[in-house]
Amino acid sequence: MASVFPDGFEALEPFADWAVRGEKARYAKRLASTMDELDAFYNVAFPLLQSSKDYLEQVSMEGISEQDKRLLWLFCALVTVAFPVEAWRQPRVPDSGPSTIDAILEPAV
Amino acid sequence: MPHFKKPAEGSWTEHLKIGTEPVSYEDSISPEQYEREREAIFKRTWLNVGRVEQLPRKGSYFTKELDAARTSVVVVRGTDGEVRAFHNVCRHRGNKLVWNDFPREETSGVCRQFTCKYHAWRYDLDGKLAFVQQEGEFFDLDKAAYGLKQVRTEVWEGFVFVNLDPENTTPLREYLGEFAKGIEGYPFHKLTQVHKYRAEIGSNWKLFIDAFAEFYHAPILHSGQYMAEEARKIQKYGYEALHYDIDGPHSMVSSWGGIAPPHDRKMVKPIEAALHSGLFGPWDAPDIGLAPEDLPPAINPSRDKRWGMDSFVFFPNFMLLIWRPNWVLTYHYWPTSYNTHIFEGTCYFVPPENAFQRLQQELAAVSFKEYGLQDGNTLEATQTMLESRAVREFPLNDQEVLLRHLHQTARAYVEDHQRRGAEAGTPATS
């Protein structure tokens, strides 16, 4: 059976549930998580993002494989999670109360 | 001590001949004034309802709810390739013609004809009534007289506008004025990678435009978004724009910033350093066939090397932000009552070639959302306290000049409409 992510990204397997399609769903997962969970994901995924620029630059969006698609969505989730981890220290934007801004149109991948 | 040169008059506000006195926000907390704005503004000015890319082929359509103008329109590309808009109402019994599941929600798709869900009356893409169920039961029904009610529609640089006033004959390009002419030629058609966001905001529509028409708030409200040292530095400097201008009801602010890569990497967050991207967009601008110095003349009007972005307010509710790293953001504010509106923010990028570029764009779009969430809730806090009327006059500084202009313009439209109503002998709109 093929692994979830491309070779070299095995360390992300425990966080495969972050490979979520769509910013709205990724943001919902962020809000449903604790800071401990967000930190755990960030601490493993962020160093991999830092060292993967060359790899990601050679992944063409045209005909992107399922493995690379999942890797891309996981890193998209990391982008969403970076705000609470690096800035807010809480899953929600401070003082944002009940307000929401929802993605209603996004790229297919 | 100013960091950027101001006009000879000493301030942008005096240069643009706008008063400097404290302002009232009564126009943003009055249900009666909102009703007047619906008549004088939203039923009578050109409104941007979308882009031509939303209508890729013949029969492509989308609906747009225009609550402020008490209507819904369906915008469609006809068999002749023309873009038209119609009031979204069946001529038989007034049912909303195009909708899915929820009558108040917008929809889009492709079709050959529009068929009413109620009694199956059918209309061609150019609005002609094509089929009547049990036509013989009607009394001398002249089908030619029961086509869809058309709305004036014009396209500027791929942006589709409608004007609900059948008596308003001002062409779109003339209405949009000098800023629009000076933006023409910008390759909007190359920016087809779209991220669109929507929010229900608990404030008057003008208050959110206010929030995005000044950046005086950025170093304070958004300080948590910066690294600590950078936040302190930005607060000390405050904010000054490169340039402000107005043209009729429209206005613009030209801003510095977003120069990439930042001189000091300590000022950016780790995710920004890793992706070479942030609120101002990817640091490596994609090729759009135009170097910054060759951009159309209304963009970066002062031709400042420190330029980062321009923000145009096309009255009443369309904002167009053009960023130095070759991407575009639009804002729309659709009023739903005097103290609520629907906000739409849409990011337009050159389609990414690879996964890294896709992530750079994701960071720019998500940054916009995180900032927007901070703005949106602050607006509700402002609206509720303005409505207390405990304080009725508010001082505005020179970096808030566009706010004065927006509210003055909206009031002038209402006054002008009422005056013309009185002259015509019809009772002024309540």
Residue B355, domain member (yes or no)? yes
Q: Which of A19-28, B10-19, B249-258 has the lowest mean pLDDT?
A: B249-258
**Domain spans, chain A:** 12-88
In Å, how far is A58's CA from the nearest CA of chain B? Answer: 6
Mean pLDDT of B125-140: 96
The tokens of B122 are what? Answer: 């059918």
| pLDDT(B259) > 90 | no
Q: Which of B18-32, B253-267, B315-329 has the lowest mean pLDDT?
A: B253-267
| pLDDT(B427) > 60 | no
Judging contacts by C-beta atoms under 8 Å, the chain A residues touching residue B275 are 49, 79
Please count the residue pairs, one from chain A and one from chain B, whose beta carbons lie less than 8 angstroms apart.
Answer: 121
Q: ipTM score here?
A: 0.98
CATH number (domain holding residue B58)? 2.102.10.10
**CA nearest A61: which of B285, B349, B362, B351?**
B351
Output the pLDDT for position B53.
Answer: 97
**CA nearest B356: which of A66, A11, A54?**
A54
Same domain? For B230 and B291 the reply is: yes
Q: Which of A12-16, B218-222, B397-401 has the lowest mean pLDDT?
A: B218-222
Angle of CA points B353, A29, A77, to nearest 5°: 25
Same domain? For B75 and B193 the reply is: no
Looking up tokens 């009801």 gives B249
Model pTM score:
0.94
The tokens of B261 are what? Answer: 């890569």
DSSP-assigned states of every residue in B97-119: SS--SSTTS--EEE-SSEE-TTT
Q: In terms of residue numbers, what domain contains B94?
A: 47-164
- Looking at B111, B141, B164, the residue that finishes a domain is B164
| pLDDT(B258) > 70 | no
Same domain? For B283 and B378 the reply is: yes
Output the pLDDT for position A61.
Answer: 98
Residue B95, domain member (yes or no)? yes
CATH number (domain holding residue B19)? 3.90.380.10
- Looking at B141, B164, B187, the residue that finishes a domain is B164
Residue B377 to residue A100, Cβ atoms within 8 A: no
Same domain? For B194 and B157 the reply is: no
Residue B51, domain member (yes or no)? yes
- Looking at B164, B190, B220, the residue that finishes a domain is B164
Is residue B74 within 8 Å of residue B86, measured between CB atoms? yes
Q: What is the C-alpha to C-alpha distance for residues B334 and B48, in angstroms, rounded to an integer?
A: 11
SS3 B414: helix
Residue A23 to residue B195, Cβ atoms within 8 A: yes
The two beta strands, B193-201 and A102-105, are: antiparallel
pLDDT tens digit sequence for B287-312: 999 998 899 999 999 999 889 999 99
- Hey, CA dihedral for B8, B13, B18, B21, is it positive or negative? negative
Output the pLDDT for position B260.
Answer: 56
Q: Which of B356, B360, B378 to mutate to test the interface with A (most CBs of A within 10 A)?
A: B356
Q: What is the C-alpha to C-alpha distance for residues B339 and B396, in angstroms, rounded to an integer?
A: 21
Percent of chain A with pLDDT over 70: 98
**CA nearest B333: which of B48, B31, B12, B6?**
B48
* DSSP annotation of B156: E
Residue of B nearest to A61 (CA): B354
The tokens of B263 are what? Answer: 């001189």
In Å, how far is B414's CA from the nearest CA of chain A? Answer: 31
Q: How many domains are there within chain B? A: 2
Q: What is the C-alpha to C-alpha distance for residues B379 and B115, in angstroms, rounded to an integer?
A: 41
Judging contacts by C-beta atoms under 8 Å, the chain B residues touching residue A99 are 199, 201-202, 373, 376-377, 380
In Å, how far is A14's CA from the nearest CA of chain B? Answer: 21
- List, in order, residues 6 or more apart from B388 with CB less than 8 Å away: none
| pLDDT(B136) > 90 | yes
pLDDT tens digit sequence for B47-71: 999 999 999 999 999 999 999 999 9
Please give the torsion angle defined by the CA atoms of residues A69, A74, A76 and A80, in that order, rounded to the nearest 10 degrees: 160
Output the pLDDT for position B430.
Answer: 45
- pLDDT, mean over chain B: 92
Mean pLDDT of B322-344: 96
The burial class, CB within 10 Å (0-12 / 13-18 / 19+), for B425 is exposed
